[in-house]
Copies of this chain bind each other. A is one copy, B any other.
Amino acid sequence: MAGVSQTTVSLILNNRTDVTFPESTRQKVLEAARKLNYVPNQFARGLKTKRSRLIGLILPTISNPYYQMLAQYVEEATAHYGYNLLLCNTSRLAEREAFYLNLLSGKFADGVIYALEPFMPEKAKQLFGPERIVVIGDANPELGMPNVSLNSFQAGRLVARHLLELGHERIGFITSPFTGYTSSRRKRMEGVIAAMREAGLEHQLVIKEGEHERENFDGSYEIDIGFSLTEALLRENEVTAVIGVNDMVAFGALSYITRTNMRIPDEISVCGFDNIYLSRSLRPHITTVDHQLNEKVRLAVRMIVANAGDGGDEAAAAEEEPKGPVLVPRDSTGPAPAKRSMRIV
């Protein structure tokens, strides 16, 4: 229609810098494309270039505010690079992970972001090669995959130090179960223990762990765990602060405490991890730790885009040092109450 060849059209529409055309030709082609509502066929393009501009995101479920937040960030980052996000909910089932790995492979996706610990790292590496995969989570060298680190240990330490500085001495840590696949829960606890030990208060820490991982993956499970563990914790112990292993568990704690008519933070402090948006919406606003997830997600996406792609300067950008977790103090934590509550100690 523009009276030129396929080649010319391709070169112009992809506005490549290595060739140059007279403005007149360029306009003719652009005009014709516009008139025809031309949209390049991504199948044909992918067949040649082996690139899809698609990134798969593997996570257990989107019904959990943490993963929802993460997915939101990934979506924003991929869109920024003109990429599209494929959502893959595995419910932590190996079978579902395998299903999605197959679906994504065949050079179909340019890369895969794991937001949980891979069940089948070998299969993933075999299908994509390690350089097309990024794991967002606590570093695990055994996996042999690129990793954007979350440093849960440091996060745990930050929270505990915050409470110690406020004068709390007897502290409860409540958590959903330590399972094989979520080492971050354990690492948060270890960070808390480390801080308590540094303060010489190691034996003042009370740890309560939930019983069974429940099949359902929405946040209600964690809220329930937080509620019942706090009930048990306060029945047996005189703590002045409760640390939930994440914000949802902390909300459960808050629910129970509110119901007992104890005042927060005057009589008891509560805090969590993750800085999900509810932690700054529900009242009281809760003290938590921000992972700077947005920055980290962007880094992960850049790593894949650089590797899949046009390389060069992009690749350099991917080498940045990720930032560490930061404490976000809010209304739910305050100075430890006076001796009254310390009578057992």
Distance from A289 Cβ to chain B, minimum over Cβ atoms (Å) = 18
Contact bitstring A8-31, B, C-beta under 8 A = 1, else 0: 000000000000000000000000
A-B contact pairs, 22 of them (CB 8 A): A39-B102, A39-B105, A42-B43, A43-B44, A43-B46, A43-B108, A44-B47, A46-B46, A62-B71, A76-B89, A82-B103, A84-B100, A84-B103, A85-B86, A86-B87, A218-B277, A218-B281, A219-B277, A220-B277, A220-B278, A251-B282, A258-B283
Residue of B nearest to A222 (CB): B281
**Once the chains are docked, how many angstroms separate the CA of A255 from the CA of B96?**
39
- Identical copies of this chain, number: 2
By beta carbon, the residue of chain B nearest A63 is B72
A9 to chain B, nearest CB (A): 15
Are B43 and A47 interface neighbours, CB within 8 A?
yes
Question: Which chain B residues lie closer than 8 Å to A6 at the CB level?
Answer: none
In order of increasing CB-CB distance, the 9 nearest A-B pairs are: A43-B46, A220-B281, A39-B106, A43-B47, A223-B281, A218-B277, A42-B108, A255-B283, A85-B87
**Partner pick for A126 among B37, B63, B87, CB 8 A cutoff:** B37
The reply on A117 being an interface residue by CB < 8 A is no
Mask: chain A, 79-103; 1 = CB below 8 Å from B; 0 = not: 1001011111100000010011011
Interface membership of chain A positions 31-43, coded 1 if the CB is closer than 8 angstroms to chain B and 0 otherwise: 0000001011111
Binding site for B on A (CB under 8 A): 37, 39-44, 46-47, 52-54, 61-63, 68-69, 71-72, 75-76, 79, 82, 84-89, 96, 99-100, 102-108, 126-127, 218-220, 223-224, 227, 251, 255, 258-259, 277-278, 280-283
Nearest CB in chain B to that of A224: its residue: B281
Chain B residues within 8 Å of A104, by CB: 84
CB distance from A237 to the nearest CB of B (A): 23
For A63, give its contact among B42, B69, B223, B280 (CB under 8 Å): B69
Taking CB as reference atom, which chain B residue is nearest A99? Answer: B79
Asked if residues A87 and B75 are in contact (CB atoms below 8 Å), the reply is yes
With the chains together, A87 CA to B282 CA distance in Å? 27
A70 to chain B, nearest CB (A): 10
A94 to nearest B CB, angstroms?
15
Residues in B neighbouring A227, C-beta threshold 8 A: 283
In the complex, the answer to whether B86 meets A277 with C-beta atoms within 8 Å is: no
Taking the closest CB of chain B, its distance from the CB of A194, in whole angstroms, is 32
Instruction: Please tell me if the beta carbons of A258 and B255 are within 8 angstroms of each other in the complex.
Output: no
Chain B residues with Cβ below 8 Å from A278 are 219-220, 278
The one of B62, B82, B283 that contacts A68, using a Cβ cutoff of 8 Å:
B62
Query: Could you tell me the distance between the alpha carbons of A82 and B103 in the complex, rounded to whole angstroms?
Result: 8
Specify the chain B residue showing the minimal Cβ separation from A54: B86
- Chain B residues with Cβ below 8 Å from A63 are 68-69, 72, 277
Q: A62-B68, A126-B37, A278-B219 are in contact. Are A43 and B107 (CB under 8 A)?
A: yes
Structural contact, B99 and A89, CB atoms closer than 8 A: no
Q: Which of A40, A43, A69, A223 counts the most B-chain CB atoms under 10 A from its CB?
A: A43
Given A43-B43, A258-B258, 5 new contacts (CB under 8 A): A42-B46, A42-B106, A43-B44, A85-B87, A223-B281
Chain B residues with Cβ below 8 Å from A283 are: 227, 255, 258-259
Provide the residues of chain B in CB contact with A89, threshold 8 Å: 72, 75-76, 79
